[in-house]
A and B are shown apart, each in its own frame.
Chain A
Amino acid sequence: MKIPFSWLKAYVPLTSTPEQIAADLVRLGHEVEGVELPRAGVKGVRVGLILSKRPHPDADKLSLLQLDIGEAEPLAIVCGASNMGEGDKVPVATIGTSLPNGLKIKKGKIRGETSCGMCCSETELGLAEDASGLLILPADAPVGMEVGEFLALEEAVFDLSITPNRGDCMNARGLARDLAADAGLPFTDVVQADVVTSADVVAPVVAVAAGEDCPVYLARRIDGVKVTDSPAWMQAALLMAGMRPVNGIVDVLNYLMLTMGQPMHAFDADCLAGDVSVRTANDGEPFAALDGRNLSLRAGDLVVSDANGVLALAGIMGSLPSGVTDQTVNIMLESAFFRPARISETRRSYAMVSEASMRFERGVDPLMVAVAMNQATAMICDLYGGVAGAVTACGDAAAVNAGVEVHCRISRIESRLGITIPPATDEVLARMGFGISRQDDQLHVVVPPFRHDISIPEDLSEEYARVIGFDAIPAILPPLAATMPVQKSRFIHDAVAGGFLQVVSYAFISADEQRLFVADDGMDIALANPISDAMSVMRRSAWPGLLNVARHNLNRQQPGVALVEQGRTYARSDRGHDENSVLAWLVTGEMEQDEWYGTARSADFFDLKGAVEAWLSVRGLSGRFVADDAIQGLQAGQSAKILVGRSEVGRIGRVDADIAARFDIDAPVFVAEMALDLLPAAKPAKFAPLPEFPGVERDLVFLFERGCSSDAILDAVRSAAGKLLTEARIFDLYDGKGVPDGKVSLGIRFVLQDGSRTLTQEDSDAASTAIIAAMQKRFDAPLR
């Protein structure tokens, strides 16, 4: 909401600078998003009289002007506009001027001709968003005068963001009252306008059937108006406040809403049929709203209607047919108080918002309903002619939100704020409209009817706090008991220590991406109002997100990526829904690049398997990788379940090449996912004495059938070698020259060790013999 400085000054004689006023507003709780300085913004722009105009010798579209700006010598200016002529008066930005659009005026040459300034359009002066041609000033504009002064530009315009609890400050009057009370300056309220009424104009017949939602409703006819544009000063004022002029009647109502706070509505009285009724809508009742939408209303919506149907969604929007146009002759003015909660609910249900509804849903000043009605009547009759009739008034404004009282102990407020409250602050609150009395520690406050936000002692504490100033509150550390230090989750830290970069991707993905790795079992959780299809379904796997990140980076010349993400996956369940913590990895492309010490190497399954194994081992766990060809989205023969103990805790494998291609990735992509909630707790390592006697290491090389599982081979080695075995591993794998087709040569290295003695040749021979026999028997694998 934009409020020009002059509007505030109409209520209170403010003498501070705009910056100071902005600071005061902020301190009082009214957020100032910006302060425009229209007059200062065009300082240096003066009224100039065009003495002569001739074409530029070197450019068709440029003119050479000689201008009188009240100096001894005329100014020569090269100008690109075409709408001006000799004798016109135009704004001239002189050398050194900085315009609102940031342009700094310097002396220059344009195609060889000297230019000592610039003639301005409305856009360049910051007065309009677009303009064609120069702003031609009235003939009576004094030559040489500052244009800002001549146009009576506002000294300042405050751009405010009023919080929803302060409906009373969504206008100049309310803000001025706060400022006056705070500064101890007199507040000059609006005086009730004198309205001459005629008995010839009938008073509308109004029946309010929904008195709870509409406690006050005033209506009056004004007949014989001639609707023209509103006067220039009002249009300028509305534009300054950020509102577009519509027509004479609507502009008056908008102007009064911005200054006095009361939204009003004008109906074309000739479009009304029969009596006016304020009632709740019938289910399905049609309504053609001013914004062009045709709504089907629901029972409970508050409407203003006549014999033919709905004229307005009360307090929110009028109907298209009953609106005031240039052809309107007779109008019916409405000024009312609608119950905020009703307006808010209806407005939300139709996703409608209007300047009026914003004020009604926050609560207007019930005592302004009649004042504003008279003010509007007086202005309309004054500006557009017309004769006003008597007001039909329903309800008692004085009873609305009246008599709200708050009693509490001052010490309670003081303890909440952590300061003592000086009695002088009571006077500030009194100037803001509160009735305050104190007796010892007892505080008794009568809340003014325009403050719909105050009903309990805590509300008062805020009023005291903002009047005293939050700066006055000291900063004190509260006593805090020591808590159990919470074990920080090491999941992600351990994963990045393994050389992976942590990414954070959105929890919602596209339905198509969801289907890549999860079957459509009806357990997806979709958003009702997604931002886009690409972000419409809560992910059940982190892999699509990682693939998107991989694509982004491979597209940016990264030779490879190693990524990890910790987050949640979401699915429907018997309980409603589950949110599961997962850790997910992805590797693709080059794990190592060409270096002076080695050549490039692409990621494979075992890079990722190693990372997962290392990650498990940090938590004292070891995983079993069980081949599984049926994991959706992964390539058969390169995918596995990960088991810890007996429970499946994760999956790993190569992403199906067609899926990878969807993400524009040609290289093999490997992914893994670990369900953190299913993982057993990390085991602290248990001490075991270090061996005192040396171990014996032996290597055996066998020829196996291709397809034998090395897990099975090593298991067989372990059981054959006996209890002295401390380690057995594959140290070599070869299927090249010299190895028959369909066979593979595996080198097995094993270590025997005994805690009580040094082992002998016999010990290792015995183990070797047992292993050789076992390999022969189990796998038909001869020693090579």
Chain B
Amino acid sequence: MMSEIDALKVQLESLQSEALAAFAAAENPAALQQLRVHYLGKKGALTEVLKGVGRLPPEARPVIGQYVNDTKAVLAGALERGEAELAVRAKAIRIQAERIDITLPGRKAAAGGLHPVQQGLDEMTEIFSQMGFAIAEGPEIEDEFHNFDALNIPPEHPARAMHDTFFIKDMLNEAGTEPMLLRTHTSPVQIRAMKRFLSESGEPPLAVVAPGRVYRCDYDVTHSPMFHQVEVFKVDRNVSMAHLKGVLRHFLSAYFEKDVGIRLRPHYFPFTEPSAEVDISCVFCASKGCRICKGSGWIEVLGSGMIHPNVLRAVGIDSSEFSGFAFGLGVERLVMLKQGIPDLRLFFENDVRFLRKMGGTR
């Protein structure tokens, strides 16, 4: 009897090693499935062995039954592992087949961008707006009153010659006395904003930032007949030059995103008294002296001053009670300094290669 059990055992063992070898050799899940049927199916090899168990004496059956079950468990486990292995291998093959060249360029999205002058205008007005200055605009075709007279530049004043003014052909002011012109600076917005503000609110304080296009009849390497300015002014009781300096330093540091030193130099503008040209410490060489600052460590950036009492008077503000500061900055100039643009003409040439390089989509 023992020999029959032994024979079955041997048979089972050889079946198991044969099956395991076959499983290991299977190359795909289908082959494995076939092997499962062949060994473990209803008519499979193991079932065949089980048939032989009936011939054994009853006391031997559980022993062999145990053997058969063990073998079955081994084979089922091996099949499961084999399937998992094959799945992993199949996935690896698929992944290999699906490899792409990720260094190919991405699909191009249409790349737009803001003109660098626009970016500058946006940044500047935003800084002043955050500081509490209200935004105002004015007409570009102006009359002499707003562009000159109200700003304390009477007709015979030599300063009018410093503004190379474009005049409009056959168009007179409301009074029909003087030709209209293209504003030479954003300062007329001072007058218009103050007048409007006073009619609405009665009296200062007021703090205004006025961005816009201005025109000078001057066209060469460093001059464009059209450019952009931002006018900033504040009128209140006890406004002092120290406040002017404070606002300038805050603005310039915010715009250049670094702590810039500022230097005021006495100058002359008809609409301010005192007047000052404003220099910033050279942002290129940290004031060591370079080509941009011509070795001085300073770069002139804008004109400023305390609003002349005649200007306040022109809009009906009592200059013995109120004072104010004002300054006007050239947008192109500051953008050139900040972004290292060497030539003013690049702004108006609108070469898309330049615009793409400088363009920000904010």
- Residues of A near any B CB (own CB < 8 A): 26-29, 31, 163-166, 340-342, 344-345, 348, 361-362, 415-419, 456, 458-459, 461-462, 465-466, 470-471, 473-478, 480-486, 488, 492-493, 495-508, 525-531, 535, 538, 549, 552-553, 556, 558, 561-564, 566-568, 570, 572, 576-577, 579, 591-593, 595-597
Contact = CB atoms under 8 A, between A and B. Distances in A.
Give 9 nearest A-B pairs by CB, closest first.
Answer: A499-B110, A418-B242, A29-B266, A418-B240, A163-B268, A480-B132, A462-B274, A496-B112, A478-B243
Nearest to B278: A470
A300 B162 CA distance: 24
A579 B140 contact: yes
A461 B179 contact: no
A151 B105 CA distance: 69
Contact of A531 (B115, B125, B217, B309): B217
Interface stretch (B60-68, B86-94, B245-253): B245-253
A498 B205 CA distance: 41
A492 B126 contact: no
Contact of A577 (B129, B141, B246, B250): B141
B44 interface: no
Secondary structure of the B side of the interface? mixed
Given A29-B265, A163-B267, A552 B104 contact: no
Given A500-B112, A549-B350, A577 B171 contact: yes
A308 to B, nearest CB: 30
Contact of A462 (B154, B169, B275, B348): B275
A473 B247 contact: no
Interface stretch (B23-31, B49-57, B283-291, B353-361): B353-361
Given A466-B274, A473-B264, A525-B171, A478 B241 contact: no
28 contacts: A163-B267, A348-B156, A416-B241, A419-B241, A456-B273, A458-B319, A465-B241, A470-B265, A471-B263, A474-B242, A475-B249, A480-B132, A486-B135, A498-B112, A504-B347, A504-B350, A525-B141, A526-B169, A528-B167, A529-B166, A530-B166, A558-B352, A563-B352, A577-B141, A577-B180, A591-B110, A592-B108, A595-B105
B158 interface: yes
A496 B241 contact: no
Contact of A496 (B104, B113, B274, B319): B113
Given A496-B359, A528-B169, A417 B263 contact: no
Given A475-B242, A502-B118, A562-B110, 8 more contacts: A28-B266, A29-B265, A164-B268, A342-B156, A344-B156, A470-B264, A488-B122, A508-B225
Contacts of B213: 507, 567-568
Nearest to A611: B110
Interface stretch (B10-18, B76-84, B231-239): B231-239
B111 A499 contact: yes
Contacts of A28: 266
Interface string B151-189: 000111111111000111111001000011010000000
A488 B266 contact: no
B258 interface: no
A508 B111 CA distance: 28
B98 interface: no
Interface residues of B, number: 95
Nearest to B117: A504
A717 to B, nearest CB: 31
Nearest to A346: B156
Contacts of A529: 166-167, 217
Nearest to A340: B156
A259 to B, nearest CB: 22
B265 A31 contact: yes
Secondary structure of the A side of the interface? mixed
Contacts of A493: 114, 361-362
Interface string B331-362: 00000000000000001111111011001011
A501 B243 contact: no
A478 B234 contact: yes
B236 A478 contact: yes
A488 B126 contact: yes
Contact of B245 (A416, A473, A530, A535): A473
Given A481-B132, A525-B168, A506 B348 contact: yes
B274 A477 contact: no
B107 interface: yes
Contacts of B161: 348
A347 to B, nearest CB: 9
A495 B112 contact: yes
B205 to A, nearest CB: 7
Contact of B243 (A163, A341, A476, A563): A476
B230 interface: no
A345 B62 CA distance: 131
B41 interface: no
A415 B273 CA distance: 13
Contacts of B319: 458
Given A461-B274, A502-B113, A504-B115, A344 B241 contact: no
A413 B191 CA distance: 24
Contacts of A418: 240-243, 245
B309 A475 contact: no
A596 B262 CA distance: 53
B350 A505 contact: yes
A567 B323 CA distance: 34
A528 B309 contact: no
Contacts of A596: 104-105
Contacts of B157: 164, 344
Contact of A553 (B104, B117, B351): B351
Nearest to A507: B226
Contacts of A341: 154, 156
